[in-house]
Amino acid sequence: MHLQEKTVDTEPIFDGKIIKVRKDKAELENGSVVTRELVIHPGGVCVVPVNEKGEVYLVKQFRYPFQEVLTEIPAGKLEVGEDHRSAGLRELKEEVGAECESFEYLGVMYPSVAYLTEKIHMYLATGLSFGEQSLDEDEFLDVEKMPLSQAVEMVISGEIKDGKTQTALLLAARKLGI
């Protein structure tokens, strides 16, 4: 049982619209029992849309927990059981108004491994064509485009603070040789 923990008890704490909170008891490899607090999340998807000029489309939106407007790539929450590829294509269309010829999987990231079960699947979208945005009723954002190399510099300088955006932009830039 080296480096493993065995769940011995689970107590539901909160059952919300997006998240659930649970308190578990876990047995460590030395036999000790500890408390683990978990936030259960259905997961998410994010997309790095890059045009033929090497420009990336980013969204700016207010993020309530931080009380500030953040620069991010298009992204969204998965519905329970939803396919992340389909969700990514949906978010690209909803937030940026784009469809793509190529939709390449970049991998998965775990945004906060100590207490959050969320997994975010990352994609690179190229061969873009544009139509109308179709934002959710409660979604307000601005779209901007810039060279992907500039967005990478914003990650490095700390201007882009969102973890999924940082990771996906760096992966996309590496994949595209930028």
For residue 15, give the nearest of 35, 36, 40, 37 by alpha carbon.
40
Report the alpha-carbon distance of residue 36 to residue 78 in Å, rounded.
24
Catalytic residue numbers, as ranges:
137
H, E, C per residue of the chain: CCCCCEEEEEEEEEECCCCEEEEEEEECCCCCEEEEEEEECCCEEEEEEECCCCEEEEEEEEEHHHCEEEEECCEEECCCCCCHHHHHHHHHHHHHCEEEEEEEEEEEECCCCCCECCCEEEEEEEEEEECCCCCCCCCCCEEEEEEHHHHHHHHHHCCCCCHHHHHHHHHHHHHCCC
> 58 is written with which tokens?
């980013």
